[in-house]
């Protein structure tokens, strides 16, 4: 059965794990064509084997508010696979625009983005938010060190200064995972402390719990759905691509046209890239190919490599990993990405918690008044092209977690200040001594605060 999955503040793998647990089916029975971000409201098709549309519809009565299912179609036997996705449509709101930024400035920046595009980096979310980056885990998988890979997967992410403290249930879950890793708690016991969202950790611990001494690390890793296992290897390929892209675009004088030793293609469809061409010195001199023709390899066993400085990234990597570990021939990815169907509008708002973009379950009221401005922008990108990288180029801002936390804290402060002002206004003749920031901040619901903060910094 096919269904449309709507989710908020939950990644696709954990959403699939939640659905599988409610349905009593293996996680691998829930298939999808691509993984959607956690910090977003996302909509995507999923398919689940041997489950009726009626049963899926009934899940909406028991699921949390951040997961919904709809548009059911039965008798679709083929599962979805990573790579089936053609592209994504994005919509996001960038709040608190600087006052000296005119609409003309915004239009020029958007037009430049439509014309030149942006470096087609894999986004930071490709490398996970766990205790270890996914490409670091992927390197262990490629070396078949499953014991260390599993330890890294199960290790909780470190607490980041500036984010709210975890609740008691999450603290207990984190402690259980750490104790399992250091051998002071067995898998069967640790499972009892896990949160519903910890689907990957649960699957692995369930496999370990069936073992007398929890030593079948290969089996525990391969108990994960194939789509999840591939994410770790794909993260290594993505990391190498990003390194090559940075090296290739380091020299500003070579950013418009292909240079000698670059790989180029003529086709528009990435899936048709059956042959690549090495740019010659003569073609560089004549500026035969633009930068938009340049591709870089997603490394595989049969990849053709660039014949210039960019190749050094792969040569250095191959010195530590045997090519035999790759189970695919490799593909190619454009160095530059260009958005399509770009639509944008500058909005005015006063309420820092007001919804400025529809998400399927809310109402948006636009106004021409308000002391703050926001940019609402929508666009389409090809498969595996990242909106976070587009916004990074559009705003010229850092996309690292530290930068995002700073923006999140700034937005939270603004919300609290606004709430304090509203509370003071409502208090009217009440003694000012009883109206303080702590009372105002307490009037905000954590769920709405978090939702609006995320909308202000990410799609």
Catalytic residues: 37
β pairing state of 118-119 and 263-264: unpaired
Residue 420 phi/psi, 5-degree rounding, is -65, -40
Rounded to 10 degrees, the C-alpha dihedral 136/138/141/145 comes to 0
Whole-angstrom CA distances from 67 to 43, 71, 440, 455 are 10, 14, 30, 17
Task: Label each residue of the chain as H, E or C.
Answer: CEEEEEEECCCHHHHHHHHHHHHCCCHHHEEECCCCCCCCEEEEEEEECCCCHHHHHHHCCCCCCCEEEEEEECCCCCCCCCCCCCEEEEEEEECCCCCCCCHHHHHHHHHHHHHHCEECCCCHHHHCCCCCCHHHHHHHHHCCCHHHHHHHHHCCCCCCECECCCCHHHHHHHHHHHHHHHCCCCHHHHHCCCCCCCHHHHHHHHHHHCCCCCCCHHHHHCCCCHHHHHHHHHHHHHHHHHHHHHHHCCCHHHCCECCCCCEECCCCCHHHCCCCEECCHHHHHHCCCEHHHEEEEECCCCCCCCCCHHHHHHHHHHCCCCHHHCCCCCEEEECEECCEEEEEEEEEECCCCCCCCCCCCCCCCCECCCCEEEEEEEEEEECCCCHHHHHHHHHCCCCCHHHHHHHHHHHHHHHHHHHHHHHHHHHCCCCHHHCCHHHHHHCCCHHHHHHHHHHHHCC
Distances (CA, A) of 312 to 99, 304, 309, 319, 330: 45, 13, 6, 11, 18
């Amino acid at each position: 059965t096919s269904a449309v999955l709507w989710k908020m503040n939950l990644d696709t793998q954990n959403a699939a794990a939640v659905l599988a647990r409610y349905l009593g089916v293996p996680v691998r029975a829930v298939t999808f064509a691509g993984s959607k971000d956690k910090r977003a409201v996302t909509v995507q098709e999923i398919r689940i084997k041997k489950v009726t549309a009626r049963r899926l519809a009934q899940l909406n009565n028991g699921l949390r508010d951040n997961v919904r299912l709809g548009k059911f179609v039965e008798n679709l036997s083929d599962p979805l696979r990573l790579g089936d996705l053609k592209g994504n449509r994005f919509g996001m709101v960038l709040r608190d625009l600087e006052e000296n930024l005119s609409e003309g400035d915004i239009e020029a920046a958007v037009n430049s983005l439509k014309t030149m595009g942006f470096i087609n980096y894999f986004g930071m979310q490709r490398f996970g938010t766990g205790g270890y980056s996914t490409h670091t885990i992927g390197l262990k998988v490629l070396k078949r060190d499953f014991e260390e890979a599993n330890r890294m997967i199960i290790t909780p992410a470190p607490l980041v200064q500036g984010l709210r403290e975890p609740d008691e249930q999450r603290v207990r879950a984190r402690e259980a995972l750490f104790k399992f890793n250091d051998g002071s708690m067995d898998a069967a016991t640790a499972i009892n402390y896990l949160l519903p969202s910890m689907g990957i950790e649960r699957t692995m611990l369930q496999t370990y719990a069936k073992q007398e001494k929890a030593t079948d690390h290969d089996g525990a890793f391969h108990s994960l759905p194939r789509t999840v296992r591939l994410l770790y290897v794909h993260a290594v390929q993505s990391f190498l691509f990003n390194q090559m892209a940075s090296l290739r675009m380091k020299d500003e004088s070579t950013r418009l046209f292909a240079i000698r030793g670059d790989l180029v293609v003529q086709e528009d469809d990435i899936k048709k890239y059956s042959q690549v061409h090495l740019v010659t010195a003569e073609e560089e001199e004549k500026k035969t190919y633009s930068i938009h023709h340049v591709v870089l390899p997603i490394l595989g066993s049969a990849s053709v490599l660039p014949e210039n400085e960019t190749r050094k990234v792969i040569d250095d990597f191959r010195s530590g990993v045997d090519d035999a570990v790759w189970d695919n021939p490799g593909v190619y990815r454009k160095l530059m990405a260009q958005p399509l169907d770009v639509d944008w509008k500058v909005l005015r708002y006063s309420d820092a918690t007001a919804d400025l973009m529809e998400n399927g379950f809310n109402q948006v009221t636009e106004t021409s008044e308000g002391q703050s401005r926001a940019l609402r922008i929508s666009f389409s990108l090809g498969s595996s092209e990242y909106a976070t990288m587009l916004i990074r180029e559009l705003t010229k801002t850092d996309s690292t977690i530290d930068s995002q936390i700073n923006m999140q804290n700034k937005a939270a402060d603004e919300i609290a200040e606004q709430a304090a002002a509203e509370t003071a206004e409502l208090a009217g003749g009440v003694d000012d001594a009883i109206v303080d920031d702590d009372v105002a901040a307490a009037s905000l619901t954590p769920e709405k605060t978090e939702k609006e903060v995320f909308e202000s910094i990410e799609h």
